[in-house]
Chain A
Amino acid sequence: MSALPAPNAAAWAEAVRRGDLDPLDGVRAALARARQLDPGLNALLHLDAEGAEDAARALRERLRRGEDPGPLAGVPLVVKNNIAVAGWKLTCGSRILGDFASTFTATVVERLRAAGAIPIAASNLDEFAMGASTENSAFGPARNPFRTDLVPGGSSGGSAVSVAAGYAPFALGSETGGSVRQPASFCGLFGLKPTYGCLSRYGLVAFASSLDQIGVFGRGARDLALAFDAAAGRDRADSTTLAEPVEPCVPQLGRGVDGMRVGLLANSFAAGVEDTTQQRVRAAAEALRAAGARLAETQFPYEEAVVPTYYLLNTAEASSNLARFDGIRYGLRAEDARQLRDLYLRSRDAGFGPEVKRRILLGTFSLSAGYYDQYFTAALKARTLVVRAYLDLFRKFDLLLGATTPTPAFRLGEKSDDPVAMYLCDIFTCSANLGGVPAVNVPAGLGADGLPRGVQLTGRHRGEAALLRAAAVLEQALGGCPPLPQAAARALAA
């Protein structure tokens, strides 16, 4: 099996910048590995070999002319297919978009390109990012490279698989309630959900606009920091981006956690959280303590309200955001419709999968006259309480530590018929989206079952630098991304 020329994005860029790695060779290695492994994993929806090779050649020219090729020089990037890249099909994992190709490129992708990154492929996802397993894709589920009968998590499962299986050292996902951190945890990766407003949403197909944020998968804290620094900052095309300049993370990465106050979240040790995960959270706590952090146990209030609040808000916004997929201007259109109403009904019925329909119905209901106050307004109030709870906690602590998910990756089909069980996958992750604060999954090795475990760090608003410093400390202590077990690697290559 062809191995990638560098273990992570940071090392890859360094090799290209030093002249040790030809960008075209690098990109071809990545494409070859994706072509070889993806038939068994279904992580990709589209591979842009030609575009990637052209970009690599252009970068080679820049290097030859002595220009700075950027901090992510030549690093192949996989992009979740709900993020626009001009000329690429933008499916969102749905049938409803048909052959629609975007006419423009998302701001975040533009910025990473400007930093030298080379988009090579679009990845599989739960339809419109609604799901926690990538089973809701209209193009079939992606599979976990550690064990292909398991889900990789979701909704950014395809991006997680791409990085875990080594198609590319880093990838973009999107988060609404944990869609980067949870698959990062299931696939043994670093996964960052930035502060709401740090990364432009321009070009990210909206699911729940007030919660959505583009996130990054990487193979080390430095990978996340490099991508974050290159992508973050005000974008005139997204009025919800923060006006304040974003503090760069890379320069602070090595400063450790000495003196930091870390709150250890008690809910990580509740019933329902499996033992191995509990042990790994304790191990992470010990590692931070050993590095000089001061730890204290704490509680996140309103725990039981978080998941219902999150689902009321995401469904309400989704019901409106997905109204544009109507068969009129682009995408799938029912050809047999005679009336306008029929055209809408049939196109949307044929185009959307069951989970998307469920959420549109739920959201339409909670915004309806007569139910609005009971559901939508109540959820907005609950959200305000979550925001305040974080403000309170971050007066006492610099970071919060806890589990990312209660369990490791589950079997394909295990939760498909039980939406509530699937929704509870977001229990530890969606509060950061409600609060708009940054959070990261840090891999915490494999369990006895050979499956990755992860722990979660949450930071204060715009606190990515502190968050990634702590992630770097844990990377050292817990061993970073676990490699695919030999058996799994052999099985995949076969």
Chain B
Amino acid sequence: MSAPAAVAWEPTIGLEVHVQLATRTKLFCRCAWRFGAQPNTLVCPVCLGHPGVLPVLNARAVEQGARAALSLGMTVNRESKFDRKNYFYPDLPKGYQISQFDEPLAQHGSIRLDDGTHVRIRRLHLEEDAGKAIHDRGDFGLVDFNRAGAPLAEIVSEPDLATPPQATEYLDRLKQTLRWAGVSDCDMEKGNLRVDINVSVAPAGRRATGTRCEVKNVNSFQSVARALEHEIGRQIAVLESGGTVRQETRTWDEAAGQTRVMRVKEEADDYRYFPDPDLPRLQLSAEWIEAQRAALPEPQAQRRRRYEQALGLSEYDARVLTAERETSAYFERLLAAGSAPKEAANWLVNDVLSWVPPGGGVDDQPIPPEYLAAVLQLRHDGRINRNGGRALLEARAGGDLRSPQELVSALGLETQSDAGALEQACRRAIAAQPKAADDVRAGKEKALGALLGFVMRETRGAADAGKTRAILLRLLQP
């Protein structure tokens, strides 16, 4: 063994992430695209690469790409261009992919991790997705072209990551940011987000980087961490046994839990990039770029801070309310309707979100924000108590479409704030439960509960608990 046993190894990791942009139609034709449609139903001569067709750039995809870049703090280039990446594969209809080679849409962004690591983003470029080759049909290979031409943003980080957990955190931040900006669903299950890993290891402390391997076909965040751990371990083992790491492209075998060689450098494809003569250079005005920036929502972290600092929400509530853009939008509508922030947060987090079905979002539960705002207003006006509020939400969730105002009277939820009536009820409670009354008079405040319960039963829960308590204590003063 030539390497000393005590050497510590330091990995260097960079990630290339392909994100499908949320657009209605494909990047260069007017076909709709979505996950899960019947194979080869979302296609046209353009995305099938028929002879004689030409690409027409989807302006919405450029918008979404620019917004993705701006949300990552990147500079959107006033000028970029499209190139052809030439290679043969059955899922690639034209025999080339339209991509951006040396003049990408955007450059120079970053993501900061919890440990303070600053991960630089080198570039973001637009390109078209390929179709999907299906190999498990015996003698046949099948191809579904529904995805062919879907708009992708490829986001390339600098090799600023050092550990698998950092890589996962980077991806998580990236996903959160892009979902928040509304530019992609980032659903790995649906292939909205795909990751290629670049990793090398070198002795710790030296600034040198080792020979890099690329790992493709990593399809979940957990797999990214597992693939990295395996690949780092493999490279260290090679180096510690005195070998050298070959520059190669490897693939992640999820079932076997290991990476395997796909091709070595000598077999590397020469993609023969050249400017696509079918597409003019992409020119964006400074005003257009600013309009995209203006269209972005308030950044997630900034909004979370605002909820905590300006609105006085708890850290927990602020986090829940800014986890998804829809939740935050719901909350913002409550604020716009004049609801008190803390009360609104409380009801949204503790009540409304409990109706969200598994895997769904706030828009999948039955209470619209206007309804909750009206309930909060009734509470604010003292017309209902907390139980009354819950009853209103339950009525709506149960399919009752009447307004909260109507329901308050229909269900008799109005708070008994009439002091005379409430005092009568309290006197009846004292008469009905003399033992409890005596206990309270004797200073045993615990006994108050039985009397309160009696009043609540009498008023079918409409009595204001605080007021009832005060009246009882006054009547039972020794």
Contact = CB atoms under 8 A, between A and B. Distances in A.
A320 B52 contact: no
Contacts of B36: none
Interface in B265-298: 270, 272, 274, 277-280
Contacts of A317: 274, 277
B51 interface: yes
Contacts of A90: 51-52
B274 A329 contact: no
Contacts of A204: 52
Contact of A367 (B54, B143, B272): B272
B50 A103 contact: yes
Interface string A232-262: 0000111110000000000000000000000
A376 B280 contact: no
B49 interface: yes
B94 interface: yes
A105 to B, nearest CB: 10
Interface string A424-467: 00000000000000000000000000000000000000000000
Interface size class of A (residues with CB under 8 A): 35 or more
B55 A239 contact: yes
A205 to B, nearest CB: 4
B270 A368 contact: yes
B50 A367 contact: no
A320 B141 contact: no
A243 B56 CA distance: 14
Contacts of B278: 206, 209, 239-240
B96 interface: yes
B280 A102 contact: no
A367 B270 CA distance: 9
A97 B51 contact: yes
A477 to B, nearest CB: 39
A17 to B, nearest CB: 32
B272 A237 contact: no
Contact of A239 (B54, B94, B141, B270): B54
Interface string A285-326: 000000000000000000000000000000011011011111
B274 A316 contact: yes
Nearest to A331: B51
Interface string B49-63: 111111111000000
Q: In this complex, which of B49, B56, B274 has the most chain A Cβ atoms within 10 angstroms of its Cβ?
A: B274
Contacts of B338: none
B67 to A, nearest CB: 23
B99 to A, nearest CB: 13
Q: In this complex, which of A204, A323, A372 has the most chain B Cβ atoms within 10 angstroms of its Cβ?
A: A323
A152 B51 CA distance: 26
Contacts of A201: 54
Contacts of A322: 95
B279 A239 contact: yes
B366 interface: no
Contact of B51 (A316, A319, A324, A340): A324
Q: By DSSP majority rule, is chain A's interface helix, strand, loop, or mixed?
A: loop
A364 interface: yes
Contacts of A376: 274
B412 interface: no
B86 A84 contact: no
A103 B45 contact: yes
A378 to B, nearest CB: 13
B52 A330 contact: no
B52 A83 contact: yes
A97 B94 CA distance: 14
Contacts of B52: 82-84, 90, 102, 104, 106, 202-206
A100 B49 CA distance: 13
B280 A239 contact: yes
A394 interface: no
A300 B307 CA distance: 71
A406 to B, nearest CB: 29
A104 B279 CA distance: 21
B93 interface: yes
Nearest to A243: B280
Interface string B219-254: 000000000000000000000000000000000000
B48 interface: yes
Nearest to A96: B51
A238 B95 CA distance: 20
A318 to B, nearest CB: 11
B85 to A, nearest CB: 10
A82 B51 CA distance: 9
B50 A330 contact: yes
Interface string B374-395: 0000000000000000000000
B277 A328 contact: no
A251 B429 CA distance: 104
A136 B94 CA distance: 24
Contact of B277 (A92, A210, A323, A325): A210
A320 B86 contact: yes
A100 B48 CA distance: 13
A104 B45 contact: yes
Contacts of A420: none
Given A104-B45, A340-B90, A367-B86, A239 B56 contact: yes
B96 A320 contact: yes
B56 A237 contact: yes
Interface string B75-95: 000000000101010100111
A102 to B, nearest CB: 7
A382 to B, nearest CB: 15
Contacts of A325: 51
Q: In this complex, which of A82, A324, A325 has the most chain B Cβ atoms within 10 angstroms of its Cβ?
A: A324
B51 A209 contact: no
B51 A92 contact: yes
Contacts of A106: 52
B197 to A, nearest CB: 24
Contacts of B88: 323, 326, 344
A102 B48 CA distance: 12
Contact of A324 (B49, B57, B274): B49
B277 A237 contact: no
Nearest to B90: A328
B247 to A, nearest CB: 16
Interface string A350-376: 000000000000001001110010001
Contact of B95 (A205, A326, A372): A326
Interface in A50-101: 82-84, 90, 92, 97, 100
Nearest to B89: A340
A110 to B, nearest CB: 13
Contacts of B56: 236-237, 239
Contacts of A238: 54
Nearest to B279: A239
A369 B270 contact: yes
14 contacts: A201-B54, A202-B52, A203-B52, A206-B51, A210-B277, A239-B280, A317-B274, A320-B86, A320-B95, A324-B51, A326-B95, A328-B90, A329-B48, A367-B86
Going nearest first, the 7 A-B pairs with the smallest beta carbon separation are: A323-B95, A210-B277, A367-B272, A209-B277, A205-B51, A84-B52, A324-B49
Given A202-B54, A326-B90, A340-B141, 4 more contacts: A82-B52, A90-B52, A324-B95, A372-B272
Interface of A: 82-84, 90, 92, 97, 100, 102-104, 106, 201-206, 208-210, 236-240, 316-317, 319-320, 322-326, 328-330, 340, 344, 364, 367-369, 372, 376
